[in-house]
Amino acid sequence: MGIFSLMTGIPGQSGFGSASTAEQVTEGIDASNLTVIITGGASGIGLETARVLALRKAHVIIAARNMEAANEAKLLILEGNETARVDVLKLDLGSIKNNAGVMFCPYQLSEDGIEMQFATNHLGHFLLTNLLLEKMKGTARATGIEGRIVNLSSMAHLHTYEDGIQFDKINDPNSYSDKKAYGQSKLANILHANKLSRLLKEEGANIAVNSVHPGLIMTNLMRHSAFLMRILKLFTYLLWKNVPQGAATTCYVALHPKLKGVTGKYFMDCNEYTPSELATNEELAQKLWDYSNNLVNSTQTT
């Protein structure tokens, strides 16, 4: 997989490629025995993911802080699919904001005093996963159905700080770079998925954990740099996807039977792809795991 495949849409080993849509990669799959929780499901590729998984008969829960937007998303899905099973859930993990991602935002701290991109894109989802994990293990044991966790990362994980994660400078405004901070949070998504995958395999849990790059899509995620992104798109338009294509890799990794037992991998354009060396560094993943646990515990006790 490379730039040529991305530009042409030629399918990879999976039979799908950058031009494939979420509906195409899930065609014929019956997900009626699955419950899916989607953060960021009120708009953009999250909404398209929710719509398509509901179309495949999964029980979809849109977890969001903005309940008005979540309810509008639910109504939109039901308009096209009256039998869809869609619920909305107010997501408030303490004060950690994790119902959607942020990208390239100016330096700011979350309510917990943590740099916003790291808090929103990684830490909140790290906590959500931990809170759901025992329930997922129990359900997988009782039903024999493999649980799947999909972390939405990005190719932007390649553009991060020199050491990958600035553990000692997460909140340092002087060294802050909006682009590198975003890359740092996306690198954290892959490291988290890989570490959790190893732990669950050692435990023998029937849960797969993978990370995905959805592709370049113009969504509300880019609201902090919309002008820059439009200029970039003008010169790289062949590399961009529409929303149905952008949701394809997430839906493929979440549902496709070909991936049963596949865990700890990184996917792009519905095919396995090799991430950066930092993303596969087990020592860095362990350090992030410990750091994240300590950070979550400190925010919950203050």
Q: Is residue 20 part of a domain?
A: no
- Cα gap 160→276, rounded to integer Å: 11
Q: Domain residues for 160?
A: 101-301
Q: Is residue 46 part of a domain?
A: no
**Is pLDDT of 94 > 50?**
no
| Annotated catalytic residue within 107, 176, 182, 273 | 176
192 DSSP assignment: H
Structure tokens at 104: 């390239």
- % of the chain at pLDDT higher than 70: 84
Is residue 125 in a domain? yes
Q: What is the mean pLDDT of residues 261-286?
A: 97
Per-residue H/E/C for 71-130: HHHHHHHHHHCCCCEEEEEECCECCECCCCCCCCCCCCECCCCCEHHHHHHHHHHHHHHH
Do residues 296 and 37 touch, judged by C-beta distance below 8 A? no
What value does the mean pLDDT take over residues 110-124? 90
Q: Given this model, what pLDDT does residue 65 score? A: 83
Question: Residue 74 domain-assigned?
Answer: no
Question: Quick check: is 133 in a domain?
Answer: yes
Each residue of 192-251: pLDDT tens digit? 999 999 999 999 999 999 999 998 775 555 444 555 555 544 444 456 789 999 999 999
**CATH number of the domain within which 112 lies:** 3.40.50.720
Longest dimension (CA), the chain: 52
Q: With pLDDT > 90 as the criterion, what percentage of the chain qualifies?
A: 75
Give 194 or 64, the one with higher predicted confidence: 194
Torsion of CA 236, 239, 243, 245, to 10 degrees: 170
Residue 287 lies in a domain: yes
Tell me if 33 is assigned to some domain: no
Confidence band, pLDDT 50/70/90 cuts, at residue 177: very high
Strand order in the sheet with 271-273: 147-152, 207-213, 266-268, 271-273
Over residues 9-13, the mean pLDDT reads: 85
pLDDT for 102 equals 63
176 is catalytic: yes
- How many domains are contained in the chain? 1
Closest CA to 58 of 92, 90, 81, 89: 81
Q: How many residues does the chain have?
A: 302
- What would the mean pLDDT of 76-86 be, rounded to a whole number? 98
Residue 286 within any structural domain of the chain: yes
Alpha-carbon Rg for the chain in angstroms: 18
pLDDT at residue 99, rounded to an integer? 42
